[in-house]
């Protein structure tokens, strides 16, 4: 999950677009720094999910078992690794067919056996960890899993043009997964936490929208209409999300929940800063930085564990 012009439109002028973009090369000799490896190994989204799961529960003074946090980390890692392997499956037929693929896809394809082994071992470990989750949490995850499977089927198998776009799907599934352990323990909090979940959902969608905008600066008529609209108005949407998060934190300042929306709004603000500097950052580093921008709960760690 990633996470610069002052203009509301993020699309560069034709003079800013290179007519001969540099193609991706499936080279195995390129060296990567730790931040890039964090992304290429699919650890970024899993880290963000585990941190936010812990942060949400901690804010509500819930002490989650380590097994619960580890389970969400493993589940998200397996999902993202499998998704990237599926995206790169075209390379098994034609190794030169890299159209639409990014460095993360090429990396997963090069090390497919390692990732497949990791997914298999992760599934075994996840099965053992699930025994430590509440039954109600498992029921909610089962519902979410079915919906996610249907969406992935539409993306990778059916290829429907009417499917839920990735930006909205991530905005739905990711926050839902992180709030489930807390809501399962205190169902009475679900309505009180809903506005905070909505802010996080908006920020998660912005994460995907900024990545899409950075990686596809040219016009993309094949993109879902909602994606095209959102990327044309990305800066105002991000500013509005940031303000909404801060406003909700102020409104709920006398409750324990105020750090949730404030941490999310700080993540949205981080995207504005990244967008301003994105042309000076390599694509892989920028992709990793986009998820790094969502680690804002770390700023509240001292407050949350006191």
Q: 165-223: per-residue pLDDT in tens?
A: 777 888 889 999 999 999 999 999 889 999 999 999 999 999 999 998 888 877 666 67
Which of these, 255, 227, 248, 119, lies nearest to 167 by C-alpha position?
A: 227
User: What's the rounded Cα separation, in Å, for the pair 171 and 241?
Assistant: 13
8-state DSSP, 24? P
- Specify the 3-state DSSP secondary structure of 269: helix
- End-to-end CA distance of the chain: give it in Å, rounded: 29
Q: 27-55: per-residue pLDDT in tens?
A: 445 678 899 999 999 999 999 999 999 99
CA 6 remoteness from chain centre: 25
- Residue 182 neighbours by CB distance under 10 Å: 22
Q: Which whole number is the average pLDDT over 82-110?
A: 82
pLDDT value at position 234?
93
User: What's the rounded Cα separation, in Å, for the pair 217 and 211?
Assistant: 10
pLDDT value at position 25?
45
User: What's the rounded Cα separation, in Å, for the pair 3 and 207?
Assistant: 5
- pTM for this one? 0.84
């Amino acid at each position: 999950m990633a996470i610069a012009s002052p203009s509301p439109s993020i699309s560069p002028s034709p003079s800013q677009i290179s007519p001969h973009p540099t193609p991706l090369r499936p080279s195995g000799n390129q060296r990567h720094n730790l931040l890039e490896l964090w992304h290429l190994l699919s650890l970024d989204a899993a880290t963000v999910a585990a941190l936010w799961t812990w942060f949400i529960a901690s804010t509500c003074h819930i002490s989650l078992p380590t097994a619960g946090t580890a389970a969400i980390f493993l589940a998200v890692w397996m999902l993202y690794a499998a998704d990237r392997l599926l995206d790169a499956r075209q390379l098994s037929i034609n190794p030169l067919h890299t159209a639409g693929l990014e460095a993360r896809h090429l990396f997963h394809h090069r090390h497919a056996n390692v990732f497949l082994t990791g997914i298999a071992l992760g599934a075994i470990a996840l099965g053992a960890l699930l025994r430590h989750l509440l039954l109600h949490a498992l029921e909610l995850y089962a519902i979410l899993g079915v919906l996610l499977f249907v969406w992935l089927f539409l993306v990778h198998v059916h290829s429907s043009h009417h499917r839920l776009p990735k930006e909205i799907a991530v905005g739905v599934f990711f926050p839902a997964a992180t709030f489930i352990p807390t809501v399962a323990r205190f169902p009475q909090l679900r309505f009180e936490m809903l506005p905070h979940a909505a802010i996080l959902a908006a920020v998660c969608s912005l994460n995907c929208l900024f990545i899409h905008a950075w990686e596809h600066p040219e016009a993309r008529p094949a993109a879902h209409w909602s994606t095209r609209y959102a990327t044309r108005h990305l800066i105002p949407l991000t500013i509005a999300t940031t303000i909404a998060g801060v406003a909700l934190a102020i409104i709920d300042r006398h409750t324990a929940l105020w750090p949730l929306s404030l941490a999310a709004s700080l993540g949205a603000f981080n995207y504005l800063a990244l967008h301003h500097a994105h042309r000076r950052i390599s694509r892989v580093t920028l992709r990793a930085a986009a998820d790094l921008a969502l680690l804002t709960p770390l700023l509240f760690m001292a407050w949350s564990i006191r």
